[in-house]
């Protein structure tokens, strides 16, 4: 029998703040997209809720976590330079929210930004999107960010594989990403130099599943998050989410898997359907209570503290 109460922590949610939407609006106007009209912003254009202030959005997230029985969540500032929004949210709800920030490792001020975010702003995780910002994960500039994470007991998240930004598609904006750069094996070359730094690869590698497993086997500090619908599975004939969990547990083990949903905007809110699908996959392989406890909460608490 499994315990009736299991701690659920979500390692992958996005904090879609006003600066995030303002950046999108600027991209839309630069691309010659239709003007939003007087007083109309991106959320209104696509039918999403306006996020309000960082404090209001933080409160909205905590209410949503409460509604679904989720103890804690990582919130990712989803454009470079928006560290302050998430830092405000974490300061408001420090026992519930863990702060993460998107960082462009190719920017000249990347190391300084990382040090400030990890230090003064008390954020815990730097999120790298190499396909978006066009650098390799074995670039020495990435190594410098790992140095900053090591110095501040921080975590590095590196998006590998397929990368799509749904809101950009909704707005008809181009996404000139170079998917070749999101290689887990290149990440392993850097991660192996910093064994003290926990590294998280989201979405089981997002299409680079084999490579993500290879990287995890080579580097004990590499973890996999289970987030999103994992639509990348369509690129693998006959692969199912059940088999993905089976193989990931065989190679990485439950101590290096973190549950996540990739939840982002309101009114959709927290994606319970993603949670339900992952529970069903673990049911199908008869995962025991200890395994589930680590995936859904324990690994998160070990990496980010309690």
- CATH number for position 234: 3.20.20.140
Residue by residue, pLDDT tens for the chain (306 residues) are 344 469 999 999 999 999 999 999 888 888 876 655 545 689 998 999 999 999 999 999 999 999 999 999 999 999 999 999 999 999 999 999 999 999 999 999 999 999 999 999 999 999 999 999 999 999 999 999 999 999 999 999 999 999 999 899 888 888 899 999 999 999 999 999 999 999 999 999 999 999 999 999 999 999 999 999 999 999 999 999 999 999 999 999 999 999 999 999 999 999 999 999 999 999 999 999 999 999 999 999 999 998
- Burial of 1: CB neighbours in 10 Å, binned 0-12, 13-18, 19+: exposed
What domain count does the chain have? 1
Tokens 């299409």 appear where?
207
**Residue 35, domain member (yes or no):** no
**Residue 25, domain member (yes or no):** no
Q: Tell me how far CA of residue 266 lies from CA of 86, 122, 142, in angstroms.
A: 16, 26, 33
Q: Name the token pair of 104.
A: 């462009």
Phi first, then psi, for residue 100 (nearest 5°) are -135, 155
**Residue 231, domain member (yes or no):** yes
Q: Tell me how far CA of residue 176 lies from CA of 100, 113, 132, 171, 298, in angstroms.
A: 24, 24, 7, 15, 37
Domain span including residue 206: 9-15+48-304
Task: Report the alpha-carbon distance of residue 281 to residue 272 in Å, rounded.
Answer: 14
CA angle 198, 126, 118 (to 5 degrees): 95
- Burial of 247: CB neighbours in 10 Å, binned 0-12, 13-18, 19+: middle
Cβ proximity of 262 and 274 under 8 Å: yes
DSSP 263: B
Task: Report the alpha-carbon distance of residue 266 to residue 64 in Å, rounded.
Answer: 10
Q: Name the token pair of 297.
A: 């909460």
**Residue 59, domain member (yes or no):** yes
Cβ proximity of 123 and 180 under 8 Å: no
Is there a cis peptide before residue 183, judged by omega within 30 degrees of 0? Answer: no
Per-residue confidence (pLDDT) for residue 31, from 0 to 100: 81
Per-residue confidence (pLDDT) for residue 4, from 0 to 100: 47
Per-residue confidence (pLDDT) for residue 229, from 0 to 100: 94
Phi-psi sector, 133: left (phi>0), alpha (psi -120 to 50), beta: alpha
DSSP 197: S
Cβ proximity of 100 and 86 under 8 Å: yes
Return the exposure string of 125-150: e unless at least 16 CB atoms fall within 10 Å of the residue's CB, then b. bbbbbbbbbebbbbbeebeebbbbbb
**Residue 293, domain member (yes or no):** yes
Phi first, then psi, for residue 55 (nearest 5°) are -65, -45
């Amino acid at each position: 029998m499994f315990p009736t109460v299991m701690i659920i922590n979500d390692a992958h949610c996005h904090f879609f703040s006003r600066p995030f939407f303002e950046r999108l609006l600027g991209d839309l106007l630069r691309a010659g997209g239709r003007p939003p009209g007087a007083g109309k912003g991106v959320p209104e254009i696509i039918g999403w809720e306006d996020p309000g202030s960082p404090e209001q959005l933080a409160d909205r997230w905590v209410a949503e976590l409460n509604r679904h029985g989720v103890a804690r969540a990582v919130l990712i500032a989803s454009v470079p330079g928006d560290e302050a929004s998430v830092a405000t949210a974490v300061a408001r709800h420090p026992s519930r929210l863990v702060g993460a920030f998107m960082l462009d490792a190719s920017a000249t001020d990347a190391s300084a930004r990382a040090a400030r975010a990890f230090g003064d702003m008390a954020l815990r995780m730097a999120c790298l999107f190499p396909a978006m910002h066009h650098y390799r994960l074995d670039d020495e500039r990435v190594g410098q960010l790992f140095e900053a994470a090591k110095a501040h007991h921080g975590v590095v998240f590196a998006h590998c594989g397929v990368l799509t930004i749904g809101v950009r598609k909704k707005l008809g904006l181009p996404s000139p990403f170079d998917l070749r750069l999101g290689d887990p094996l290149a990440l392993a070359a850097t991660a192996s130099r910093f064994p003290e730094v926990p590294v998280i690869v989201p979405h089981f590698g997002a299409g680079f599943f084999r490579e993500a497993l290879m990287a995890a086997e080579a580097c004990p500090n590499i973890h996999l998050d289970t987030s999103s619908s994992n639509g990348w599975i369509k690129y693998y004939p006959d692969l199912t989410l059940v088999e993905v969990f089976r193989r990931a547990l065989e190679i990485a083990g439950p101590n290096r898997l973190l549950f996540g949903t990739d939840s982002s905007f309101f009114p959709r809110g927290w994606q319970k359907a993603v949670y339900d699908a992952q529970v069903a996959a673990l049911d199908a392989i008869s995962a025991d209570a200890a395994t589930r406890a680590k995936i859904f909460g324990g690994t998160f608490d070990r990496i980010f503290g309690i």
